[in-house]
Amino acid sequence: MGSKTPDEHQQHPNGGAGNETTAKIVATPACAKTGLHGSDGEGDQGDNDDDDDDDKTTNLIINNEDKKKKRKRNKKKKKTAQGGLKQSVPPRVQVSALFSEGAFPEGELQAYSDDNLSRSTGEEQRYLSRLGDTMTPEFLRDYREAAEVHRQVRQHVQSILKPGVSLTHVADEIEEGVRALTGHPGVEKGDVLKAGMGFPTGLCLNNIAAHWTPNPGGKDILLKQEDVLTIDFGVHVAGRIVDSAFTTAFDPRYDELLKSVKDATETGIKHAGIDARMSNIGAAVQEVMESYEVALNGQTYPVKAINNITGHNILRYQIHGNKQVPFVKNKSKQKMEEGEVFAIETFGSINGVGRIRDGEGVYGYRRDTNVYTGNLHLSTAKALVKIIDANFGTLPFSRRHLEHTGCKNYILGMHNLVQQGIVEQYAPFVESKGAYVAQFEHTILLRSEGKEIISRGDDY
């Protein structure tokens, strides 16, 4: 899930690190500024416009009873040779039932290169302060469980992608799968904070770079043969968020675009490590990505690294931490440190400008817990902020997610919360009209013995 560079700057200006922050690990986690922002209207994938003015209701309705009473279909579960359960199709068996005693698969462990094995004294102290929180069996178990959920869900989704399938159906399969495999349906109060979606499902077509999701009541979009589709979603267990994304296309003419961005992401992973400098990572990634060209409609297009969106570190319950990982040349003085978790992601485009802009529509929301709520007067806003705090904390969420909890008639209250700065509202990121964008992303953990690519799978 990309982090947009601050104040619309490109990645080449100085990018000094701010003071390091640590997320509060509580039922309603502490807030950190995220890089979620919007883009321009050229990338609208349907009727995601903010139709808030149509809602004249001032009563907030929470109705979980209907969801609780929904009849569940029995899924056929096959036995494995070891006597345990085998995953159903579609995946609905909780992953903890498939792995005894929480022994979830480890990610790929890569050795560090020789130039990022050591730490300075100051960095060593900061690492030791994080040691008790991150380098524990519980931490690794939670992260590996989230990663296994991500792998199984995305592999199922890959099997259903074809021209004519609707994006709403794809989003349903992702979100229902994540809830089932984590064992947290997300209907009961506070259940989402235990495990589930880490942020709104991103389903981005063609020139949409990131942060588009189908909204309730919006026009459904059907995949076409010529589409380039990026799928970006997050899974969390106890606030440990796995952020991973991939791009797919039915038309082989886009193969080189996908190959270039995938190669660039792998280059970013290769150069990541203890004491690795963001400036070095960005330069290496850009060189690889922009060495590719794509032949399309009789013309040859160079692949451009998008220069105002970045990878990022991940904190507990905070998808975007306080560090950015650019994938173009830059002058950032930030470095990676042992015990940190990073989303290594790259975006490349053809027939575009190599830069994203703000678009129309609503992708999602995030609660800013640093903003005082005592001045709220609208009753629906007061009720809504309590629902958000109880169910999402600082996790970004969409209208789909909110309605899944049973919340209805919330538009007026949400308008008020956005106006007060209590909730941030986010929109899609888009490239120029006619462009095609691809993204690949993995979550990595910088451990003492190497970097664990937690989200690695057989697919990418």
Token readout for 211 is 């942060």
Total residue count of the chain as it appears in this document: 460
Measured at the alpha carbon of residue 119, what is the angle toward residues 115 and 120, in degrees to the nearest 5?
120
How many Cα atoms are found within 13 Å in the side-chain-facing hemisphere of 304?
21
Residue 54 DSSP code:
G
Among the ranges given (121-130, 189-198, 262-271, 341-350), the one the predictor scored with the smallest mean pLDDT: 121-130
Q: Please enumerate, by residue number, every residue annotated as part of a binding site for substrate.
A: 211, 320
Q: Which residue has the higher pLDDT, 62 or 290?
A: 290
- Bond into 90 cis (ω within 30): yes
Q: Which residue has the higher pLDDT, 61 or 17?
A: 61
How many Cα atoms are found within 13 Å in the side-chain-facing hemisphere of 341?
29
Q: Collapse the DSSP code of 303 into the 3-class scheme (helix H, G, I; strand E, B; otherwise coil) and give the result.
A: coil
Whether the per-residue pLDDT at 221 is higher than 60: the answer is yes
Is the distance from CB of 324 to CB of 18 less than 8 angstroms?
Answer: no
172-195 pLDDT per residue, tens: 999 999 999 999 999 999 999 999
How confident is the model at residue 69, as a pLDDT?
Answer: 46
Residue 244: CB partners within 8 Å, gap ≥ 6?
150, 154, 232, 233, 234, 343, 441, 442, 443, 455
Token readout for 72 is 């569940």
Q: Please enumerate, by residue number, every residue annotated as part of a binding site.
A: 211, 232, 243, 312, 320, 345, 441
**For the chain, what is the radius of gyration of the CA atoms?**
21
> Residue 153 and residue 156: Cα distance in Å, rounded?
5
Share of the chain above pLDDT 90, in %: 76
254-310 pLDDT per residue, tens: 999 999 999 999 999 999 999 999 999 999 999 999 999 999 999 999 999 999 999
Token readout for 106 is 């480890």
401-444 pLDDT per residue, tens: 999 999 999 999 999 999 999 999 999 999 999 999 999 999 99
363-401 pLDDT per residue, tens: 999 999 999 999 999 999 999 999 999 999 999 999 999
Residue 387: CB partners within 8 Å, gap ≥ 6?
60, 62, 402, 405, 407, 410
How confident is the model at residue 351, as a pLDDT?
Answer: 98
> Residue 30 and residue 370: Cα distance in Å, rounded?
8
CB contact burial 191-207 (16+ within 10 A = b; e otherwise): bbbbbbbbbbbbbbbbb
Among the ranges given (108-122, 137-151, 330-344, 400-414), the one the predictor scored with the smallest mean pLDDT: 108-122
How confident is the model at residue 62, as a pLDDT?
Answer: 52
Residue 96: CB partners within 8 Å, gap ≥ 6?
102, 145, 183
Share of the chain above pLDDT 70, in %: 78
Is the distance from CB of 94 to CB of 181 less than 8 angstroms?
Answer: yes
Model confidence band, residue 115 (pLDDT cutoffs 50, 70, 90): low
Whether the per-residue pLDDT at 117 is higher than 70: the answer is no
Model confidence band, residue 127 (pLDDT cutoffs 50, 70, 90): low
Model confidence band, residue 151 (pLDDT cutoffs 50, 70, 90): very high
How confident is the model at residue 125, as a pLDDT?
Answer: 55
Nearest partner of 286 among 361, 212, 346, judged by Cα:
346
> Residue 7 and residue 281: Cα distance in Å, rounded?
22
Q: What domains are there in the chain, each with its CATH number? A: 3-61+88-453 (3.90.230.10)
Is the distance from CB of 420 to CB of 118 less than 8 angstroms?
Answer: no
Model confidence band, residue 67 (pLDDT cutoffs 50, 70, 90): very low
How many Cα atoms are found within 13 Å in the side-chain-facing hemisphere of 53?
1
Residue 171 DSSP code:
H
Q: Please enumerate, by residue number, every residue annotated as part of a binding site for a divalent metal cation.
A: 232, 243, 312, 345, 441
Whether the per-residue pLDDT at 59 is higher than 80: the answer is no
Q: How many helices (H) and strands (E) does the chain have?
A: 10, 20
Q: Over the chain, what is the mean pLDDT? A: 86
Provide φ and ψ at 278, rounded to 5°: -60, -35
